[in-house]
Amino acid sequence: MKKSVRTRFAPSPTGHLHIGNARTAVMNWLFARHTGGRFVLRIEDTDRERSTEESERVIFNDLQWLGLGWDEGPDRGGDFGPYRQSERLEIYREHILQLQKSERVYPCYCTPDELDLRRKERLKRGESAVYDGRCRQLSTDQKKWLEEEGRKPAIRFRTEKEDVAFEDLVKGRISFSGESIGDFILVRPDGMPMYNFACVVDDHRMGISHVIRGDDHVTNTSRQIILYRAFGWKSPCFVHIPMILGKDRGRLSKRHGATSVSQYRELGYLSEALVNFLSLLSWSSESGDEILSRDRLIEEFDFGRMSKSAAVFDAEKLDWMNGVYIRGLTLGKLIALALPFFRDAGYSVDSERKIRVILSLLQDKLERLSQIGEKAKIFFQEEVIPESKDAEDILKKPDSKKVYNTFIRELSSVGKSDWDGETFKVVMGKIQEETGVKGKHLWMPIRVALTGQVHGPDLPKVAEILGYEKCRRFLQRALGDEIG
- The 10s digit of each residue's pLDDT in 55-79 is 999 999 999 999 999 999 999 999 9
Q: Which residues are catalytic?
A: 254
Sequence-distant (6+) residues with CB within 8 A of 233 are: 200, 204
Task: Write the CA distances from 173 to 66, 218, 221, 295, 436, integer angstroms.
Answer: 33, 12, 13, 32, 78
Give the residue among 358, 148, 366 at the shortest CA–CA distance from 268. 366
Cα separation of 139 and 279, whole Å?
54
Which amino acid is present at 89? L
At 126 the pLDDT is 83
pLDDT, tens digit, for every residue of 225-246?
A: 999 999 999 999 999 999 998 8
pLDDT at 2 over 60: no
pLDDT, tens digit, for every residue of 247-301?
A: 777 777 656 556 899 999 999 999 999 999 999 999 999 999 999 999 999 999 9
Cα separation of 53 and 384, whole Å?
48
pLDDT at 371 over 70: yes
Cα separation of 272 and 22, whole Å?
13
Phi/psi at 458 (nearest 5 deg)?
Answer: -50, 115
Cα separation of 197 and 127, whole Å?
26
Terminal CA-CA length for the chain = 74
pLDDT, tens digit, for every residue of 147-170?
A: 999 999 999 999 988 899 999 999
436 three-class SS: coil
pLDDT band at 483 (very low <50, low <70, confident <90, very high): very low
At 482 the pLDDT is 43
Sequence-distant (6+) residues with CB within 8 A of 137 are: none
Which amino acid is present at 345? A
Judge if the upstream peptide bond of residue 460 is cis by omega within 30 degrees of 0: no
pLDDT at 484 over 80: no
β-bridge pairing 311-312 and 244-245 = parallel
Cα separation of 54 and 16, whole Å?
9
Contact 240, 215 (CB under 8 A): yes
Cα separation of 24 and 41, whole Å?
12
pLDDT, tens digit, for every residue of 456-476?
A: 999 999 999 999 999 999 999
Q: Please classify residue 248 by burial: count the beta carbons closer than 10 Å to its beta carbon, then call 0-12 exposed, 13-18 middle and 19+ buried.
A: exposed
Give the residue among 175, 174, 135, 127 at the shortest CA–CA distance from 153. 135
Of residues 129 and 186, which shows the higher confidence score?
Answer: 186
Cα separation of 338 and 340, whole Å?
6
Task: Write the CA distances from 394 to 32, 285, 381, 401, integer angstroms.
Answer: 60, 50, 20, 9
147 three-class SS: helix
Mean pLDDT of 321-349: 97
Sequence-distant (6+) residues with CB within 8 A of 208 are: 6, 7, 8, 40, 202, 236
pLDDT, tens digit, for every residue of 82-131?
A: 999 999 999 999 999 999 999 999 999 999 999 999 999 988 888 888 89
Q: Which domains does the chain have, with CATH numbers?
A: 6-74+245-312 (3.40.50.620), 88-241 (3.40.50.620), 330-371 (1.10.8.70), 389-480 (1.10.10.350)
Give the residue among 28, 60, 26 at the shortest CA–CA distance from 262. 60
At 60 the pLDDT is 97
Give the residue among 472, 464, 452 at the shortest CA–CA distance from 351. 464
Share above pLDDT 70 across residues of the chain, in percent, rounded to a whole number: 97
Cα separation of 42 and 59, whole Å?
11
